[in-house]
C-alpha cells in the first residue's frame, strides 16, 4: 500500500493551516503575517507529537477522491493560467515590466520579425549577448502585431504546459493511475505555487530560458521512450534558447550513464554535445560577434568562493524536496549540471529570486517524479519510529512554509494600476501620436516595453554619472545617440538613482531642451544626437 500525507482532522490543525494559507494567498499584512497562525499552532503540534498521538495521518486516498483531485486539478490549472494573464496585463498597465530584461528581448524579437538580427541596447548582433535563435519562434506574432504582451503570454503558457509534461512522465513511470495523479498534483503544485525557486522564476522578468521548462520535460520523456526525432528537435530548440542550455543534455547524459545502465553510449554523446555547446557558444560564438572580446554576460567562474552562500543556496533548493535528489543522486544528477552553473556563476544566480532556477527547478521536480515512481523509498521510512516520522514531516512542512514565495493573489494585488497610471498611458499615447520616434528613442526603464521599434535605449543616471552626462559604460552612453529622451513620473525608474535629480540635471544641461511636459510624461530633445 502506498502512503499519502494527509493532515489529521483536529480542529487546531485545520484552522491554523487554512488561516495561514488564506492570509498568505491574499497577502494580508505583508508577506509574513501568514506565519502567525503557524506559530500559534506549533505548540499544539509539538504536544501531540510528544504524546505520540500524531499530527499527520498516513493513508491512501480512495479512487473516487483521486478522480476528483484530478478533475479539480485541471480546473485549478486553467484558473491559475487566467490569473497569471491578469497579472501580466495589470503589470503592463502599471508600468512594472522593465526594459531590462523584458524590453531587451522584446526588442530583439521585434527586429527578428523585421528580418534584422539587431540588439539596439548595445548596438550589436543579439548573439553577442546571449545565443537565442530559438526565440525567433515568437517573431511571426510581432510581425502580425508588434506588442510586448506576446512574449509574456508565451512565458505563462510555457509554465502552464509543464504540469502536462509531469503528467506524461508520471504515467510513463507508473502503471497505477492514482499514483500518477498524486505525483502530478504534488509536483505541479510545487512548480506553480509553493516551490520558491520555480515560482520566483515565473514572477520575474522575461528571459529566453522561460521557454525551456516544458521542452526539457518532454525531451526527457522522449529520451526515455527512445523517440529520437522528437528528442533531437526538442534538444536543438533548447540549445538555441541560451548558451548555458548545454547543461540540460549533460544532465540527461549523466542520468543515462548512472540510472539507465543500458544507455551509456547515448549518455556519453549527450555529455560531449552539452559541453561543446556551452563552451563553444560562450567562448567562441559570442566573442565572434564582439570582435574577439568577451561578452559582459560571460561569467567569471568562481569554484571555491562564497562557500557559506553556496551551502545556503543548496539547502534552500533541496529542503522543500526532502533532499531526495541528493539521497538518490543517480536520478537527481539530472539537475546537477544546471545547479552547478549557478554555483560557479555570479552571486545573484544563487538568490532564487530571479530567473536562474527555471531550468534546475524543473529538472529537480522531474527527478522527484522518477524517484517516487521507481525507488522503494518506503523501505527506509518504515524503520523510522512513528514519533520520529511525525517530527520529520512537521520539520518538512515548516521548512516549506518558511520558504514560500509570493502567491498569485499577492502578485495580482501588487500589480494593480492606479488612476495615475492610466493618466500616464493617455499622455504616452498622445506623445506617440504627436512625435515621430522612428529614428530611435531613449526611455526610462518602465517605458521600454511600450515601444516596439528597431532602436530603443534606456536612460540611466546616478550621483557619479548624472543623466545626460558622460556615462559609466557603453550601455548607458548609447542613449546619448537618441534625439528624443522620454521619461515618466509615477512609474518605475530602475537604473535612475533619483528621478527628480535626473530631471533637474537634464533641465540644467544646455544640450537638452524640454519640448513637451504633461502632468507625468516629460520629453526632451537631445542636441548631442545631431
**91 shares its domain with 177:** yes
For residue 8, the model assigns a pLDDT of 45
Please indicate, yes or no, whether residues 33 and 111 belong to a single structural domain of this protein. Answer: no
* 408 within some domain: no
CB 351 within 8 A of CB 314: no
Instruction: Mark whether 247 and 279 lie in a shared domain.
Output: yes
**pLDDT at residue 6, rounded to an integer:** 43
| 251 is a domain residue | yes
- The helix (run of H) or strand (run of E) holding residue 516 is strand 512-517
Residues 52 and 73 in one domain: no
Most confident of 13-27, 49-63, 217-231: 217-231
Cell of 37: 497562525
Q: Would the pLDDT of 102 be above 90?
A: yes
**pTM for the structure as a whole:** 0.92
Whether 346 and 424 map to the same domain: the answer is: no
pLDDT at position 58: 60
Q: Residues 217, 219, 220, 221: what is their CA dihedral angle, to the nearest 10 degrees?
A: 90
User: What was the pLDDT predicted at 227?
Assistant: 95
Residue 179 has pLDDT above 80, yes or no: yes
Crossing angle for the helix pair 228-239 and 212-225, nearest 10 degrees?
A: 150
Biggest distance spanned by C-alpha atoms of the chain: 81
What is the pLDDT, as a whole number, of residue 98? 92
Q: What are the distances in angstroms from CA 348 to CA 351, 356, 357?
A: 5, 9, 11
Query: Same structural domain for residues 328 and 183?
Result: yes
| 471 occurs within a structural domain | yes
For residues 40 and 66, membership in a common domain is answered with no
- The verdict on residue 409 lying in a domain is no
pLDDT at 10 exceeding the cut of 70: no
Domain range for residue 477? 419-529
- β-pair partners for 441: 456
Q: Take residue 36 and report the three cell numbers written for it.
A: 502567525
Looking at residue 7, its pLDDT comes to 42
156 with 13, same domain?
A: no
Give the CA distances from residue 152 to residues 90, 256, 458, in Å, rounded to whole numbers and listed in that order.
12, 34, 20
Q: What is the pLDDT of residue 1?
A: 39
- Mean pLDDT across the chain: 89
Q: What is the mean pLDDT of residues 58-63?
A: 71
Q: What is the DSSP string of 19-51?
A: HHHHHHHHTTTSSSTTHHHHHHHHHHHHHHHHT
Q: Is residue 16 located within the same domain as residue 90?
A: no
| Planar angle of CA 156, 160, 165, nearest 5 degrees | 140
> How many domains is the chain built from?
3
Q: What's the pLDDT score for residue 330?
A: 94
Q: How confident is the model at residue 476 (pLDDT cuts 50, 70, 90)?
A: confident
Sign of torsion, CA 276 277 278 279?
positive
**Maximum mean pLDDT: which of 236-240, 285-289, 476-480:** 236-240
Q: What secondary structure, in 3-state letters, does 198-234 show? A: HHHHHHCCCCHHHHHHHHHHHHHHHHHHCCHHHHHHH
Same domain, 80 and 50: no
Is residue 148 in some structural domain? yes
- The pLDDT score that the predictor gives to residue 192 is 96
Indicate whether 380 belongs to any domain.
Answer: no
Q: Is the pLDDT of residue 446 over 50?
A: yes
Backbone φ and ψ of 525, nearest 5°? -100, 130
pLDDT digits 0-9 by tens, 236-280 = 999 999 999 999 999 999 999 999 877 899 999 999 999 999 999
Please tell me which residue, 58 or 314, carries the higher pLDDT value. Answer: 314
Residue 366 lies in a domain: yes
Is 381 part of a structural domain of the chain? no
Domain boundary among 311, 340, 375: 375
β 4-7/56-59 pair status: antiparallel
- Whole-number pLDDT of residue 501: 92
Grid cell of 228 as nine digits: 529520437
**Which one has a higher pLDDT value, 468 or 191?**
191
pLDDT band at 25 (very low <50, low <70, confident <90, very high): confident
Spatial neighbors of 460 by CB under 8 A, at least 6 apart, are: 467, 471, 472, 475, 476, 479, 495, 496
Confidence of residue 395 (pLDDT cuts 50, 70, 90): confident
Determine the average pLDDT of the residues in 367-387: 80
130-139, 291-300, 369-378: range with lowest mean pLDDT: 291-300
214 and 90 in a single domain? The answer is yes
The answer to whether 462 and 425 have CB atoms below 8 angstroms apart is no
Residue 376: Cβ-neighbour burial (10 angstroms; 0-12, 13-18, 19+): exposed
In this structure, the answer to whether residues 164 and 25 fall within a common structural domain is: no
Amino acid at each position: 500500500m502506498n502512503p499519502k500525507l494527509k493532515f489529521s482532522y483536529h480542529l487546531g490543525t485545520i484552522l491554523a493551516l487554512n488561516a495561514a494559507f488564506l492570509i498568505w494567498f491574499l497577502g494580508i499584512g505583508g508577506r509574513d503575517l501568514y506565519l502567525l497562525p503557524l506559530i500559534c499552532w506549533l505548540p499544539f503540534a509539538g504536544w501531540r507529537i510528544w504524546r505520540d498521538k500524531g499530527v499527520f495521518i498516513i493513508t491512501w486516498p480512495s479512487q473516487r477522491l483521486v478522480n476528483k483531485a484530478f478533475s479539480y486539478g485541471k480546473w485549478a490549472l486553467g484558473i491559475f493560467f487566467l490569473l497569471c494573464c491578469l497579472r501580466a496585463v495589470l503589470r503592463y498597465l502599471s508600468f512594472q515590466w522593465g526594459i531590462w530584461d523584458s524590453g531587451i528581448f522584446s526588442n530583439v524579437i521585434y527586429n527578428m520579425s523585421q528580418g534584422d538580427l539587431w540588439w539596439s541596447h548595445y548596438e550589436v548582433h543579439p548573439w553577442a549577448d546571449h545565443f537565442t535563435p530559438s526565440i525567433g519562434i515568437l517573431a511571426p506574432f510581432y510581425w502580425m502585431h508588434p506588442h510586448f504582451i506576446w512574449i509574456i503570454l508565451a512565458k505563462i503558457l510555457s509554465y502552464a504546459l509543464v504540469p502536462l509534461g509531469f503528467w506524461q512522465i508520471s504515467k510513463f513511470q507508473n502503471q497505477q493511475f492514482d499514483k500518477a495523479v498524486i505525483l502530478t498534483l504534488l509536483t505541479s503544485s510545487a512548480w506553480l505555487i509553493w516551490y520558491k525557486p520555480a515560482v520566483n522564476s515565473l514572477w520575474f522578468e522575461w528571459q529566453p530560458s522561460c521557454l525551456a521548462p516544458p521542452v526539457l520535460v518532454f525531451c526527457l520523456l522522449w529520451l526515455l521512450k527512445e523517440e529520437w526525432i522528437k528528442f533531437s528537435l526538442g534538444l536543438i530548440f533548447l540549445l538555441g534558447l541560451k548558451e548555458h542550455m548545454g547543461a540540460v543534455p549533460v544532465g540527461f547524459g549523466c542520468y543515462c550513464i548512472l540510472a539507465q545502465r543500458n544507455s551509456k553510449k547515448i549518455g556519453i554523446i549527450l555529455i560531449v554535445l552539452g559541453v561543446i555547446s556551452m563552451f563553444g557558444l560562450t567562448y567562441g560564438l559570442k566573442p565572434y560577434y564582439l570582435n574577439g572580446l568577451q561578452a559582459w554576460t560571460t561569467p567569471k567562474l568562481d569554484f571555491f568562493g562564497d562557500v557559506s552562500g553556496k551551502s545556503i543556496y543548496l539547502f534552500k533548493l533541496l529542503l522543500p524536496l526532502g533532499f531526495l535528489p541528493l539521497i538518490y543522486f543517480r536520478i537527481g544528477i539530472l539537475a546537477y549540471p544546471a545547479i552547478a552553473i549557478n554555483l560557479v556563476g555570479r552571486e545573484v544566480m544563487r538568490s532564487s529570486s530571479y530567473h536562474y532556477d527555471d531550468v534546475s527547478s524543473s529538472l529537480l521536480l522531474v527527478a522527484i517524479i522518477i524517484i517516487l515512481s521507481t525507488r522503494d523509498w518506503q523501505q527506509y521510512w518504515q524503520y523510522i519510529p512513528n514519533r520520529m516520522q511525525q517530527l520529520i514531516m512537521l520539520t518538512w512542512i515548516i521548512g516549506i512554509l518558511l520558504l514560500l514565495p509570493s502567491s498569485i493573489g499577492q502578485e495580482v494585488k501588487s500589480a494593480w494600476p492606479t488612476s495615475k497610471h492610466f493618466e500616464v498611458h493617455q499622455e504616452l499615447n498622445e506623445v506617440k501620436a504627436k512625435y515621430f520616434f522612428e529614428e530611435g528613442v531613449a526611455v526610462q526603464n518602465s517605458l521600454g516595453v511600450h515601444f516596439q521599434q528597431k532602436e530603443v535605449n534606456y536612460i540611466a543616471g546616478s550621483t557619479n554619472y548624472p543623466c545626460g552626462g558622460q556615462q559609466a559604460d557603453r550601455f548607458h552612453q548609447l542613449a546619448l545617440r537618441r534625439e528624443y529622451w522620454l521619461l515618466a513620473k509615477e512609474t518605475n525608474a530602475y537604473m535612475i538613482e533619483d528621478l527628480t535629480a535626473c530631471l533637474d540635471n537634464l533641465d540644467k544641461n544646455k544640450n537638452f531642451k524640454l519640448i513637451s511636459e504633461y502632468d507625468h510624461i516629460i520629453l526632451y530633445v537631445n542636441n548631442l544626437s545631431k
